[in-house]
Amino acid sequence: MLQIPFIRQHTEQVKERLAVKNFQELSLVDEIIALDDERRKLQLEFDTTQAKVNSASKEIGQLMAKGQKEEAEALKQSVPSLKQSLQPISEQLTAVEKQLEATIVKLPNLPSVNVPRGKTPEDNVVVREGGSKPTLVNNAVPHWDLAKKYKLIDFELGNKITGSGFPVYTGKGARLQRALIQYFLDYNTAAGYTEIIPPFVVNEASAFGTGQLPDKEGQMYYVNEDQFYLIPTSEVPLTNIYRDELVKESDLPIKMTGYSPCFRREAGSYGKDVRGLNRLHQFEKVEIVQIVHPDNSYAVLEEMVLHVELLLQSLKLPYRILNLCGGDMGFASAQTYDFEVYSAAQEKWLEVSSVSNFEAYQTNRLKARFKDSNGKNHLAHSLNGSSLALPRILACLLENNQTENGIELPEVLHQYLGFKTI
């Protein structure tokens, strides 16, 4: 959530940066300032009236102490009307504050100056590429055919049990899925991230804190009776560990990693782009999250990008890194790098990770702060990234490593799998 003092002091800059993000409702900025003006006016009126009540009460006490009862009684007559006038002011102030909060959360985060201009994914900028695209055998097939041939994933059974987008992993497919999760967690903890197993459902306050609400209600599964949300990523519960928390500056950076199933309705998804593992309603992902000092967040962003890049290199997958343009960024992000791996059998790039800096957008909602050496409190910055999302990684590992004799898996996974080929 953007901070009102910043909006007031940098109004035109805020509008210019929102335009880079292709945000259409720039009039909300002026509406927020007008509501804040009204809030300030009512607050001043309330404080002034309350001060009169306090002053009169003090004076009455002083008069009574001096034995001037008649003067005290006369002054008492004015106090009830002053107190009565506080109620409507307080009600108006509460209403304006609620309207102001409901309006300001409609503004997305401002994009960093490092974000390229553009409206669609075609405007994203390729930062660099790595790895080599494999040359496949003549009879190469996409992962959904490989999964059926080697009995790794049963999409039809998942459809029977639940519905489309809920696959069942079997045999060596289940083992490969579990091996990838373990390898990703080990890789992250070796880099100093603390492993955490969080809850897989969250309350409304947590979903609001990381920016899923009110922006992404339609993408999340909702448990009506308990008013819980199934998490779209472990970023949500991990980051919310520090909601309403004040840490020491010396505690930063805080580095966390967590595995979780992820649940996304993906309403409106259809066609060839959702076939097989390309787009699911339930999938597994290992996430990395950092809470850092504001001065360091962009250096940490680059550090996290390199961390994910080296992980992809260890899997011997061809990849590219994209700096997302303003129009293709997430609501809460200030800058996002996407990682895509090349699916040789499908002949297309598939997104497998996003690494984002949210600056103080999430932490302002969360009230996640740190105390500096002078005793002053500041909002921290939050970042997260996929390290990694499983479905498309698994798809590309199957497709890119298929041979005449089976699927040869990367050496780094052998110790986790107990086998080298499928």
Q: Residue positions in the annotated binding site for ATP?
A: 264-266, 351-354
**What whole-number distance in Å separates Cα of residue 185 and Cα of residue 214?**
31
**Which one-letter amino acid corresponds to residue 31?**
E
Tell me whether the omega of the peptide bond preceding residue 214 falls within 30 degrees of 0, making it cis: yes
Q: Are 222 and 212 in contact (CB under 8 A)?
A: no
Q: Residue 230 pairs with which residues in a beta bridge?
A: 201
Would you give the DSSP letter of residue 79?
H
Burial class (CB in 10 A: 0-12, 13-18, 19+), 267: exposed
Q: Are 172 and 210 in contact (CB under 8 A)?
A: no
Tell me whether the omega of the peptide bond preceding residue 63 falls within 30 degrees of 0, making it cis: no
Burial class (CB in 10 A: 0-12, 13-18, 19+), 367: middle
Report strand pairing: 381-389 vs 402-403. Answer: unpaired
Helix axes 79-104, 27-65, angle to 10 degrees: 160
Report strand pairing: 254-263 vs 282-292. Answer: antiparallel
| CA–CA distances in Å: residue 380 to residues 24, 192, 294, 300, 383 | 29, 19, 6, 13, 10
For tokens 């996304």, name the residue.
264
Q: Which residues are annotated as a binding site?
A: 233, 264-266, 287, 351-354, 384
- Identify the CA nearest to 235 among candidates 217, 259, 254, 216: 259
State the CB neighbour count (10 A cutoff) for residue 372: 12
Q: Which residues are annotated as a binding site for L-serine?
A: 233, 264, 287, 384
**What whole-number distance in Å separates Cα of residue 235 and Cα of residue 257?**
9
Cα angle: 378, vertex 379, 381; to 5 degrees: 130
**222: three-class secondary structure by DSSP:** strand
Helix axes 171-190, 390-400, angle to 10 degrees: 120
- Identify the CA nearest to 287 among candidates 231, 204, 359: 231
**What whole-number distance in Å separates Cα of residue 13 and Cα of residue 16?**
5
Tell me whether the omega of the peptide bond preceding residue 111 falls within 30 degrees of 0, making it cis: no
